[in-house]
Amino acid sequence: MQHHANMTAPGAAPIALRPQAPLLPGRTLGVLGGGQLGRMFVHTAQAMGYGTVVLDPDPDSPAGQVSHHHIQAGYDDPQGLAELARLADAVTTEFENVPAAALATLAARRPVAPAANAVALAQDRAQEKAHFVRCGVRCAPYAVIASAEQLAAAPAELLPGILKTLRLGYDGKGQRRVTTAAELSAAWHSLGQQPCVLEQWLALALECSVIVARGADGSIVHLPVQRNLHRDAILAVTEVYAGNLPQALVEQALQAAISIANGLQYVGLLCVEFFVLQDGSLVVNEIAPRPHNSGHYSQNACDLSQFELQLRTLAGLPLTAPRQHSPAVMLNLLGELWFAQGAVAQTPPWAEVLALPGTHLHLYGKGQARPGRKMGHLNVTGPSPQAARATALKAAALLGIAPF
């Protein structure tokens, strides 16, 4: 499905220095951030004939290991950013907590997607929620708590709720579940009295997400809506196939994600995460201005992966609608799988897992496994949803992942 819109959002920053012509293979693409999402982007860019350059302070970063160039510098290091702008013809980011100011600095010299204003918005839960409201997309009832006065004035109907730090919260970090005003006060103090949002606790039936890619010309394509299972606030399983969610809900999620992207005049790849409530209604949770765990299945189940869509938006290449050719289940591979046999890390039984038909292993090049650390993912494809699920459950049993 392809959409085209050139709506200008009020207050949206102009996109600086978009290329007049596409950047074709042979040019060099840059990435701020050296994690696994950057690594998979670099692999995709190299497969298509692009040069790559990664800026990341870690000398052994997953993306830096495989890139043509690795600039070992902090994200706000002026010399590092100048070198990135010198080597790269366009720059993207692979995680949302990169300083927005660094993207703005780069955008003065090179095309940058996503733009600094979109990344800054995703870094601030209050700004993000205000944007959802402007776009007419429902989110959980909330209040900003940045002072003792706002704490005292927090509406009682938001309890029980979840207190989340305004910035730097992901995978459940910086969050506290609260049921009373006293618990709310204690939680705010335990988070260092930093600015937070209090969200009403909602009874969830399930979670889902949509990945959209929007070009500088306003064209938008999207991957199918992904059904997600989280455990301990970290994505564990994504299932994508026809009928994984009711069709009306799929349409609603797609329209909401497109509205959010258009409202930002977004250029790049954007993931929009949703809650499905027990009454069947949909509320938006948050956005990620980058590739997302829940889109990894696209590497093996679609004719265009989320990383190729990210590349096409950055390089100004045409956006064609991706097509899913196989039902898929993605299993997130966390560090605890290496400790399934005891206190000493052991390699999981990859040979047995890969003996199952339709299994595709992606490991991130991280030398040390730690519980909770994202070490890789397993994509499982099959001729039918039932076959993909059955194989994924067999793989989960081999790996020590709880059934789903």
Mean pLDDT of the chain: 93
Same domain, residue pair 100 and 77: yes
* Whole-number pLDDT of residue 4: 39
Mention every residue, 6+ apart, whose C-beta is less than 8 A from residue 231: 402
Q: Say what the pLDDT of residue 168 is.
A: 73
Is the same domain home to 81 and 191?
A: no
Q: Determine if residue 129 is labeled as part of a ligand binding site.
A: no
Which of 133, 134, 95, 102 lies closest to 116 in space, CA to CA?
A: 102
Say if residue 172 carries a ligand binding annotation: yes
Alpha-carbon distances of 306 from 160, 291, 300, rounded to whole Å = 36, 6, 11
Residue 23 pLDDT exceeds 50: yes
Report whether 117 belongs to an annotated binding site. no
- Domain membership of residue 8 (yes or no) is no
Same domain flag for 216 and 271: yes
The pLDDT of residue 1: 44
- Yes or no: say if 162 and 285 are a contact pair by the CB < 8 Å rule: no
Between 267 and 18, whose confidence is greater? Answer: 267
149 assigned ligand-binding residue: no
Nearest-10 crossing angle of helices 78-87, 100-107: 50
Statement to judge: residues 252 and 312 lie in one domain: yes
- 188-214 per-residue burial string, b: 16 or more CB within 10 A, e: under 16: beebeeebbbbbbebeeebbbbbbbbb
Residue 11 has pLDDT above 70, yes or no: no
Helix (H, G, I), strand (E, B) or coil at 289: coil
Question: Is 5's pLDDT higher than 70?
Answer: no
Using 50, 70 and 90 to split pLDDT, how confident is the model at 343? confident
24 is in an annotated binding site: no
Residue 200 assigned as binding residue: yes
| Residue 171 annotated as lining a ligand binding site | yes
Is position 377 annotated in a ligand binding site? no
Mean pLDDT of 332-348: 94
Q: What would the mean pLDDT of 5-10 be, rounded to a whole number?
A: 36
- Main-chain phi, psi angles of 313, to 5 degrees: -70, -35
In sequence order, which ranges of 204-361 are alpha helices (DSSP H)? Answer: 247-263, 298-301, 306-315, 350-354
What confidence category does residue 267 fall into, taking pLDDT thresholds of 50, 70 and 90?
Answer: very high
For 220-257, how does the pLDDT look when each residue is reduced to its tens digit (9 = 90+)?
999 999 999 999 889 999 999 999 999 999 999 999 99
Closest CA to 261 of 284, 228, 231, 232: 284
Q: What pLDDT is stored for residue 10 in this prediction?
A: 36
Q: Assess whether 208 and 196 both reside in one domain.
A: no
- Average confidence (pLDDT) over 389-402: 98
Residue range of the domain that includes 284: 204-399
> Do 172 and 102 share a structural domain?
no
CATH of the domain at 77: 3.40.50.20
Task: Find out whether 34 and 56 touch, Cβ atoms under 8 Å.
Answer: yes
**pLDDT more than 90, % of the chain:** 90
Task: Average the pLDDT over 196-203 and give the result.
Answer: 94
Instruction: Give me the mean pLDDT over the 98-122 stretch.
Output: 96
Q: Check the annotation: does 379 bind a ligand.
A: no
Q: Is residue 18 predicted with pLDDT exceeding 90?
A: no
175 known ligand binder: yes
The answer to whether 199 touches 161, Cβ cutoff 8 Å, is: yes
Residues 173 and 39 in one domain: no
Residue 96: what pLDDT?
A: 84
pLDDT for residue 342: 85
Known binding residue 142? Answer is no
Distance of CA 277 to the CA centre of its chain: 21
| Closest alpha carbon to 324 in 261, 266, 385, 403 | 385
pLDDT score at 141: 94
Instruction: Kindly report the CATH number assigned to the domain that includes residue 191.
Output: 3.30.1490.20
3 found inside a domain: no
In terms of domains, do 325 and 182 share one? no
Higher pLDDT, 173 or 358: 358
Confidence band (pLDDT; 50, 70, 90) for 17?
Answer: low
